[in-house]
Chains A and B, each alone.
Chain A
Amino acid sequence: MKNQSRWYLFFFMTPILLWLFLLIVLPHIDLLIMSFRMEDDAGDMVWSLGNYLTFFTEPIYWATFARTALYSILVTVLTFVIALPIAFYITHVVSPKLSGFLMLLLLLPFWVSELVRVYGWMILLRESGVLNHFLVQLGILDKPVEMLYTDATMILGLVYTSMLFMVVPLISVLESLDKTLIEAAFDLGANMWIVLLRIIIPHAMPGIVSGSIVVFMLTLGNYLTPNLMGGKNSLWFTEQIYNQFIASFNWNQGSAFGFLLLLLSSLIIWVGLKLSGQTLGKVVK
């Protein structure tokens, strides 16, 4: 019996372990080694920390990272602010039948690839786009303006892309929120804001944190949306990594940046967990 269960474990774990090892661990080890190697003056590959030092000595790199991190935090906060009322509405305001339908409506755009969705936004927002057309027709604008390729549109696109990853964990925590807690708070004299701050948000905290981690990580690592909607002015750190690999053919520098992105984003999440008083174990549960 014991042997049999061990065999089951082996059978089901093998594909997962193989996948993890061959496709994730192994390439990362290769990248890690690469990131510590650098050409010296003589043109030979030697072990060096130079690739990492470049990040801190060249302002353009760490400034891009800081910008990316700050905008990712902003996107996370905006996504949360928009997603919370939506999740609350779906779980506690509408009838259960309608809430299923609304969930479906939320999911629907995500059946389409991100690329198509971003192009959709571009069709709406570009100079010759749908929105400009209507604004000119209605006489609000004299001539079309370019709405794409600004930080604001990039953030709009990123929030749109991240929405679902915040709404879903929020819905699952808010579903377990007892409606009578809200009523009890009102009964004890609270207003809407107090209910939100003292009852709803503390209850939803695990969902908020897990949603925020996912949204933050996805935004930080997003390449497509900043590249297409942000244009030349909105430099995203992933674009820097891309440039190193593809434009400069400096794979060593690129992998160092990749690891820095991983480390620094993990650090930010660790700080975030500490500040919100949550632990990863509680959030994942």
Chain B
Amino acid sequence: MHIDLSVQNITKKFKDFTAVDSVSFKVEQGRFFSILGPSGCGKTTLLRMIAGFTEPTHGIIAIRGKNMQGITPNKRPVNLIFQHLALFPMMNVAQNIAFGLQRQGHGKADIHKKIDTILDRVDLPGFQDKKIDQLSGGQKQRVAIARCLVLEPTVLLLDEPLGALDLKLRDQMKVELKKLQAKVGTTFVYITHDQSEALVMSDYVAVMNKGRFEQVDTPQNLYNHPATPFTAQFVGDNNAWSGRVTQISDTRASLVTPDGNTFTINTINTNDPSFSVDAKVDLFLRPEAMVIQPDPSMDQLNRFEIIVKAILFDGANSRLLATPINSEKELIIGLPQNRQFDHVRPLDKLEIGWHEASGICFAKNEAQA
């Protein structure tokens, strides 16, 4: 596999503030690579450095092995889809798409043919003469993508282009974008703060926080095996629980939470070497890992009782807001909508169980606490 984009130790400092702190990664040809992080984590700065609008303080950006240092944005084989798309309102759809082709010096007939082809590809045939303000949000999106893809860039950069769309359209565009990328085979680098966008579309996701990459992995691994507490909390919903290790044996450890619950966890999932008796730890539990009223015969299950505070109904994504008995700690527990738990009401007392292997533990970072 060819490496389309390689970023080595890239750093960007604005006076005293380090926006991007020695980030390195490689993207293989044809991949959909996402950079996921909260706003202000430096992901836009990183993208602008790849596009060439911002000069890195140090580090190397190479596209297909060619060092991009000192190469201006108009000479780089990358194109950027802006957050608000930046379609030219003074031109129609065809003129927007032709803009880049004219700069590359294509002939008139050639440009005409390429516009027709790319509009077919983004499912907007016959839209050549439409004005930009006549288009819907989703159509604008596709014109912006067509305008970049028609130039056949090595890497297409996308700066949260779905951010301005409403939820329904965003979900639809997520799937469309993924399909389109598979069809054209261009390498996509996509930045977003929306974890669902990143998880649904990407081959690989880099989780970024405070200018650094926390973890670069497949969406499945990020969700199931987060490498850092930040990833565990940022990707998907998670219940965070602090505790203290009381006993370690082979692959299992016991820990006790401040509210007096004792849990056993399987330490195979625990990637932390500083895990020892008496160590303070953070325990992360996915809402769906907790089973309501588990079968008494199931073993290797941590069981405890909770009091339901509220039912957060949200279709397939419904949850229970609950606190363990004798505790103020709020937990979010998955509530499967299979009619089995229709009887649950607020203030009910329920037994909850979770499998030893589904909890993830990290030694507590004293600096953070």
Contact check, B72 vs A188: say whether CB atoms are below 8 A apart: no
Most chain A CB neighbours (cut-off 10 Å) among B88, B89, B100: B88
User: Is residue B53 contacting chain A, with contact meaning CB distance below 8 A?
Assistant: yes
- On chain B, the residues within 8 Å of A183 by CB distance are 53, 73, 80, 82, 86
Selected contact of A202 from candidates B73, B75, B82, B90, CB within 8 Å: B90
In this complex, what residue of A is CB-closest to B90? A202
Selected contact of B80 from candidates A187, A190, A191, A202, CB within 8 Å: A187
- On chain B, the residues within 8 Å of A198 by CB distance are 88, 91, 99
- On chain B, the residues within 8 Å of A189 by CB distance are 74-75, 100, 103-104, 151
User: Is residue A135 contacting chain B, with contact meaning CB distance below 8 A?
Assistant: no
Grouping DSSP codes into helix (H, G, I), strand (E, B) and loop, the B interface class, with mixed when no group exceeds half, is loop
Q: Interface size class for chain B?
A: 20 to 34
Contact check, A188 vs B100: say whether CB atoms are below 8 A apart: yes
- On chain B, the residues within 8 Å of A178 by CB distance are 84, 86
Assuming the contacts A188-B147, A189-B104, asked whether A180 and B74 have C-beta atoms less than 8 A apart, the reply is: no
Assuming the contacts A181-B86, A181-B88, asked whether A188 and B103 have C-beta atoms less than 8 A apart, the reply is: yes
Contact mask A166-209 → B, CB, 8 Å, 1/0?
00000000000010110111111111001000110011000000
User: Is residue B35 contacting chain A, with contact meaning CB distance below 8 A?
Assistant: no
Contact check, B86 vs A180: say whether CB atoms are below 8 A apart: yes
- On chain B, the residues within 8 Å of A181 by CB distance are 86, 88
- On chain B, the residues within 8 Å of A184 by CB distance are 80, 82, 86-88
In this complex, what residue of A is CB-closest to B51? A187
A194 nearest CB across to chain B (Å): 7
Contact check, A185 vs B79: say whether CB atoms are below 8 A apart: no
Most chain A CB neighbours (cut-off 10 Å) among B75, B79, B90: B90
Q: Interface size class for chain A?
A: 10 to 19
Distance A181 CA – B72 CA, assembled complex (angstroms): 16
A45 nearest CB across to chain B (Å): 56
Assuming the contacts A180-B84, A181-B88, asked whether A191 and B74 have C-beta atoms less than 8 A apart, the reply is: yes
A19 nearest CB across to chain B (Å): 39
Contact mask A214-243 → B, CB, 8 Å, 1/0?
000000000000000000000000000000
Distance A181 CA – B91 CA, assembled complex (angstroms): 12
In this complex, what residue of A is CB-closest to B100? A188
Chain A to chain B contacts (Cβ below 8 Å), 27 pairs: A178-B84, A181-B86, A181-B88, A183-B53, A183-B82, A184-B82, A184-B87, A185-B88, A185-B99, A186-B53, A186-B72, A186-B73, A187-B53, A187-B74, A187-B79, A188-B74, A188-B79, A188-B100, A188-B103, A188-B147, A189-B74, A189-B75, A189-B100, A198-B88, A198-B91, A203-B89, A203-B90
Other than the given A189-B100, A189-B103, 16 more pairs (CB < 8 A) read: A181-B88, A183-B82, A184-B86, A184-B88, A185-B99, A186-B72, A187-B79, A187-B80, A188-B100, A188-B147, A189-B104, A198-B99, A199-B88, A202-B90, A203-B89, A203-B90
Top 5 closest pairs, chain A to chain B, by CB:
A189-B103, A188-B100, A184-B86, A180-B86, A202-B90
